[in-house]
Structure 1
Amino acid sequence: MSAARWGDVATYAVLGVLALFFALPLAWLASLALRTPAEVYLGAARFIPADPTLDNFRTILSDPAFLIYLWNGLKLSAAGGALAVALAIPAAYACSRFEFRGKTVVLLGLLAVQMISPLVLLVPLYRWMSELGLLNLDLSVIAVYGAVGMPLAVWLLKVAFDAIPKELEEAAEIDGASRLQTLARITLPLARSGIASAFILAMVMNWSQFLIPFILLERDGDWPISVAIFNFAGSVSASTTQLLAAACLVAVLPAVAVFVALQRMIVSALISGAVKG
């Protein structure tokens, strides 16, 4: 076997170990979610339930409060993702089409901002929102989601814009179209896969956010599913562990399903600028 083939085998082996590492917690969660209350007490003694049941899922999905939490999470995530993309479009277009001093610094700065943990911003963010009277408002959470997701969206959209030939825009400008008209009528439609990918990734990131809604939303009815599950976990007992596991699985699966279903489109948008021309 050639060295290249051995390299491929080693790569797939490492990826398999990583996949197993991340899949095991989900498998254990599924095991708990399918158990009866009596089987929960067996713990790790039996991984596959002897009498699997879907009653736990029926219980949580029939709870109106749980459905409200799901809707809150979807509403905040989608609106925050849309805001991040809307803010990123002009910035990404400028970085793609214009040459200006410090452009590389701007792009690297956006990447550095993306790496900052929300933990660093918690105290000043809470104090600022409190002084402005913006606590317990969906718009506050959406605004922060948009700001947090914008740097990544700028990079993704810049790649999408880079893949669009400038000659198309130049031809439109020769025909009398303004820069804004060219952007709206030519560039954005051609970059729709990149825009969709940026929105999906921003939305998935927002769906998993916990700290931001936890500190900005204090009313039970405003919580997204991530905060609601955390508060429920604080009062859970052994007899309701299976319900918590079912709730966690329902909260995780939408993001996983969306990413798996649209992974080809996302990867295509990410590499489109690299294969330009």
Structure 2
Amino acid sequence: MHNASSAGTIDVGGDLTVNRFGYGAMRITGPSIWGPPADKAEAIAVLRRVVDAGINFIDTADSYGPDVSEELIAEALHPYPEDLVIATKGGLIRPGPNMVWPADGRPEHLVEACEGSLRRLKLDEIPLYQFHRPDPKVPFEDSLGAIVELKNQGKIRHIGLSNVDEEQIRVAQRMTPIVSIQNRYNVDDRASESIVDLCEQESMVFLPWAPIQDLDKNPTIHEIAERHSASPRQVVLAWLLGRSTAMLPIPGTGDLAHLEDNLAALDLKLSQAEIASLTRSS
């Protein structure tokens, strides 16, 4: 059986060591990330298999469902294994299915969101709390200041940022230590290329969201998959692991078969030439 320990480890914030292959818990919710899953038993089974497979970093957010993802994590896994790191996020609103995700960076909302996550996850302290997206209607420093105060109160251990540029990272770093960045990043969308390098240089963790996208559009992925008798999903996950030591992939699924397919990427070792060819192919 595949085990996430084969990916090696990475430090989050210098004091939380996890296997370098995580799990994103967005898709254990209902269709369009709204409401409960169609098959709750399957969602629970996926979460338990995640932990059984040695994955000890789970990423979620209060807006997934909303609330549903966090509630399912607690139902399936609490009391948590000692080495499990749960990261969650606040700052986005999920008003309904098939709708945009408005940002809400008001300090009072972030305080309410964090305290709600603590209750749903049955935690006294959230190991990693991430500001989900800067809100153009609220000064960035005001939003982050609320999260810093939550950390000072002992409700958050470490702070991360999501959907940010380098300027915002630098502003945040002047206010508080930042241990992780979660931006969209995959073989065919590398707008955050310089952010990945920054994370590697400054010992921050990079969490790529949407790591598996538009696989049919890139023939290089399929050529490498055929060469290794692997699936395209496995190829792009293996590429992420090879791209940077700061990378902590968090592929998500609500399906046990897809989870096993993702885990099989741990056995796929791409050559430096293959990693380079995928890097050039976008």
Normalised by the length of structure 2, the TM-score is 0.21
Structure number with higher helix proportion: 1
Structure number with higher strand proportion: 2
Q: Greater relative contact order (Cα 8 A, min sep 6): structure 1 or 2?
A: 1
